[in-house]
Amino acid sequence: MKKVLSILVVLCMVLSLVTVANAADYALAVNNNIAIKVGSTNAIAWNNIVNTVAPVEENGTMLAPVAFVVAGFNGSVTEYGGVTVVTMGDTNAYMIAGNRNVVVNGRVFYPEVAPKVVNGVLMLPVEFLGETVLGKAVYYDDVTKVAVISHRKCLSSRDREVLDTISTAIDTGVLPEIVIKAPVLETVGGAMGGSNAETGQLKFVSVTADQEPEPENNGYCMVDGNLGSRWASNGPAVAVLDLGAVKPVTHIKVAVWKPNERATNYSVEVSADGGRYTRVFDGSSSGSTYDSYDVNDSIRYVRLSTNGTSVGTWASILEVEAWNGTAVVTPSVGGGATGTVVAAPTGTKVTLSSSMLTASQTPEAENHAGNLVDGNKMTVWASQGDASVTINLGSAKVVSTVGVAMKMYEDDRTIPYDIELSNDGVTFTQVWTGSSEPMTDTTKYVSIGSGAQYVRITAHGNTISGWNSIAEVEVYTSGAATGTTTTTTTTTTTTATGGGSVVSTATGTKVALSASMLTASQTPEAENHAGNLVDGNKQTVWASQNEAFVVIDLGSEKTLSCVGVAMKMYDDTRTIPYKIEVSSDGVSYTEIWSGDSEPQTDTTKYVSTSAKARYIKVTAYGNTVSGWNSIGEIEVYTK
């Protein structure tokens, strides 16, 4: 049965319609995903309004109904003698109401709030349930109290209009409809363009696919601007993309998955009325990232038909783009570049720190992402299969060169990997793909010359064991990025200043901190993770060795009033030296206080400050006896 992935969502019982301005973003947020809201029994699941037990909020954390969310992603929940078992694919999770120990695939985790029964239904913190148990992406909005659980990250704090639209839909029980103007049929076959013709890349408003065997790899992935997502199909398949109105189109661009490894079989047809189609291509992909096909006509619909690849019956299309001429402004930030391997880097080397890195996985605590920027090729970030690390440069810069050094293996195995750039950390553009060289740890430099704030390196497992071992990553820039094709809001960043002093009590409004706001430089003991710093229990600690730090991201710049740190209470007189730093961009930090913890007490030490900052970094240097750090709690207060 044909499955329609259209953002013209019409619910048969809807009596009134709401117009959504940001159609594509709204469709991406709700398409085949789940959206729930604190206190509401309405939810959006698989593009429909459905009923559930209302999520609740506890200490700033949303608790979501486990069975509802798991069922939404085709998992199952069963009960055995008081033990709840969640099964989805190869994942099995075991939990008991009131017990913070949750076992996922044999590993013990400690959610911020223990599983609990609310209104007869077992609930878990939504981020823990979605990310740790189900392996999905979760975005929780503190303003609307809406959480979106999705197959991949699709929202950020910038998507205020989309989040408000989702919140209103849940409140009213009415899904929005996107109002699209009727086609201007008199332009069919007419002259291309005109003084008012839309130029540059055109936006598709809907996608209709006749099959989607993998819901997370759905048809909408072809128009999300992300080369990291794809529409997957098995055997002959057809997708129709709609521009919403007849528009002049000069050419169509198609990007396929792994173009240098396989040829994808497909055809491209175009139409003004959806009835009569003209074929502009029928064949196989060329091996390039994008293939381009001339149209030079006024059209509304693009029909893409796939039929496997040179290696099997499955086909994956990354992106389909419609263009009229070229972009009005030459792309610079986050796109438009094709990297080439060079012998030596150009530009100014960026001083990278582990606080600038976000890794998709760290299966071995000692082989964490911080090893990528320690200047030592003998230490590595280890991961399995497809895994990525994202570097946040703090602001958009012209990235001139990216260097990657892999572990030197003794055999001829190599690691395939990609380099991607992004403005917002959500939509990435691939600028280079290739493999490491065998039996060497020499840094491979790729010249790029494109602007971006985020650099992402995705490895795909070495050719023998499937593991990745990346030793070092380097980034070189040549100034601030200019000439972006996207509209951005400029904000004034205030350099964090304001010396701190120890005070007896905290002042200001306490920030509700959660584990998702923390980034730790190391976690040598899985049970003593950084999330323990914000669980309200001084008996649980974040443990680390020697110099180690944790960074708290407040989400936006705020005026601080106080930072509190409580250390583990030791039985002897050992103390832990530590310092507190603040930053507006997560790159440049200003120290506001340094000193030692007090012996034989776990009393919180408060440091008063008037600094303006988004990021707070607490760095400890090992206790005076064993060199280990054990920090019980961290608190942040704002004015």
What is the model's pLDDT at position 28?
Answer: 55
Three-state DSSP at 502 gives strand
What is the model's pLDDT at position 326?
Answer: 53
Beta bridge partners of 266: 283, 306
Does 226 or 498 have the greater pLDDT score?
226
Please compute the mean of the pLDDT values over residues 424-435 and round it to a whole number: 83
Instruction: Give residue 410's Cα distance to chain centre.
Output: 35
The answer to which of 295-304, 576-585, 587-596, 598-607 has the lowest mean pLDDT is: 587-596
Please compute the mean of the pLDDT values over residues 262-271 and round it to a whole number: 92
DSSP state, 207? E
Does 134 or 449 have the greater pLDDT score?
134
For residue 173, how many C-alpha atoms fall within 13 Å in the half-sphere facing its CB? 10
What is the model's pLDDT at position 116?
Answer: 94
Indicate whether 184 pLDDT > 50. no
Does 93 or 162 have the greater pLDDT score?
93
What is the model's pLDDT at position 495?
Answer: 35
The answer to which of 26-35, 218-227, 383-392 has the lowest mean pLDDT is: 26-35
Give pLDDT tens digits for 163-172: 888 899 899 9
What is the SS3 string spanning 17-35? CCECCCHHHHHHHHCCCEE
Q: Considering the chain, what is the average pLDDT of its residues?
A: 81
Indicate whether 460 pLDDT > 60. yes
What is the model's pLDDT at position 30?
Answer: 60
DSSP 306-341: EEEETTBSEEEEEEEEEEESS-SS---BTSS---EE
For residue 150, how many C-alpha atoms fall within 13 Å in the half-sphere facing its CB? 23
For residue 428, which amino acid is it? Answer: F
**Other beta carbons less than 10 A from residue 511's beta carbon:** 19
Please compute the mean of the pLDDT values over residues 239-251 and round it to a whole number: 90
Answer whether CATH 2.60.120.260 is correct for domain 340-480.
Answer: yes
Six-digit token string for 485: 């094709």
Q: Whose CA is closest to 55, among 136, 132, 141, 134? A: 141
Report the range out of 63-77, 580-594, 620-634 with the highest average pLDDT.
63-77
What is the model's pLDDT at position 268?
Answer: 94
> Are the beta carbons of 495 and 584 closer than 8 angstroms?
yes
What is the model's pLDDT at position 365?
Answer: 83
pLDDT band at 25 (very low <50, low <70, confident <90, very high): low
DSSP state, 273? S
Beta bridge partners of 437: none
The CATH number corresponding to 196-324 among 2.60.120.260, 3.40.50.450, 3.30.70.270, 3.40.50.300 equals 2.60.120.260
What is the model's pLDDT at position 336?
Answer: 40
Q: What is the CA radius of gyration of the chain?
A: 26
**Other beta carbons less than 10 A from residue 195's beta carbon:** 4
Buried b (16+ CB within 10 A) or exposed e, 265-278: bbbbbbbbeeeebe
Domain spans of the chain, in order of start: 16-172, 196-324, 340-480, 501-638
> Are the beta carbons of 253 and 292 closer than 8 angstroms?
yes
Query: CA torsion angle for 158, 160, 161, 167 (degrees, to 10)?
Result: 140
Buried b (16+ CB within 10 A) or exposed e, 18-34: eebeebbbbbbbbbbbb
Give pLDDT tens digits for 401-418: 999 999 888 777 889 899
Six-digit token string for 106: 């044999």
For residue 519, how many C-alpha atoms fall within 13 Å in the half-sphere facing its CB? 21
**Which residues fall within 8 angstroms of residue 447, CB to CB, at 6 or more apart?**
339, 340, 341, 342, 345, 346, 400, 401
Give pLDDT tens digits for 302-328: 999 999 999 999 999 999 999 887 533
Indicate whether 605 pLDDT > 80. yes
Please compute the mean of the pLDDT values over residues 471-482 and round it to a whole number: 77
Indicate whether 2 pLDDT > 50. no
Asked, colleague to colleague, whether 16-172 and 501-638 share their fold, the answer is no
Indicate whether 266 pLDDT > 90. yes
The answer to which of 19-33, 132-146, 198-212, 407-421 has the lowest mean pLDDT is: 19-33
Backbone phi and psi for residue 500, each to the nearest 5 degrees, phi listed first:
-105, 155
What is the model's pLDDT at position 194?
Answer: 42
What is the model's pLDDT at position 78?
Answer: 92
Give pLDDT tens digits for 35-68: 999 999 999 887 788 899 999 999 889 999 999 9
Three-state DSSP at 532 gives helix
Indicate whether 381 pLDDT > 90. yes
> Are the beta carbons of 438 and 395 closer than 8 angstroms?
no
> Are the beta carbons of 31 and 5 closer than 8 angstroms?
yes
Gap between the Cα atoms of 230 and 221, Å rounded: 5
> Are the beta carbons of 512 and 635 closer than 8 angstroms?
no
For residue 579, which amino acid is it? Answer: K
Gap between the Cα atoms of 429 and 201, Å rounded: 15
> Are the beta carbons of 441 and 407 closer than 8 angstroms?
yes
Please compute the mean of the pLDDT values over residues 458-467 and round it to a whole number: 84
For residue 221, how many C-alpha atoms fall within 13 Å in the half-sphere facing its CB? 25
Give pLDDT tens digits for 532-570: 999 999 989 999 888 889 999 999 999 999 999 999 888
The packing angle between helices 160-172 and 23-30, to 10°, is 60
Indicate whether 485 pLDDT > 80. no
Answer whether CATH 3.30.470.20 is correct for domain 501-638.
Answer: no
Judged on CB neighbours under 10 Å (0-12, 13-18, 19+), 115 is buried
> Are the beta carbons of 456 and 428 closer than 8 angstroms?
yes
Please compute the mean of the pLDDT values over residues 511-521 and round it to a whole number: 89
DSSP 65-111: EHHHHHHHTT-EEEEETTEEEEEETTEEEEE-TT---EEETTEEE--
Instruction: Name the helix (H) or strand (E) containing 211.
Output: none
What's the CATH number for 16-172? Answer: 3.30.457.10
DSSP state, 437? P
DSSP 610-622: --EEEEEEEEE--
What is the model's pLDDT at position 455?
Answer: 93
What is the model's pLDDT at position 15?
Answer: 26
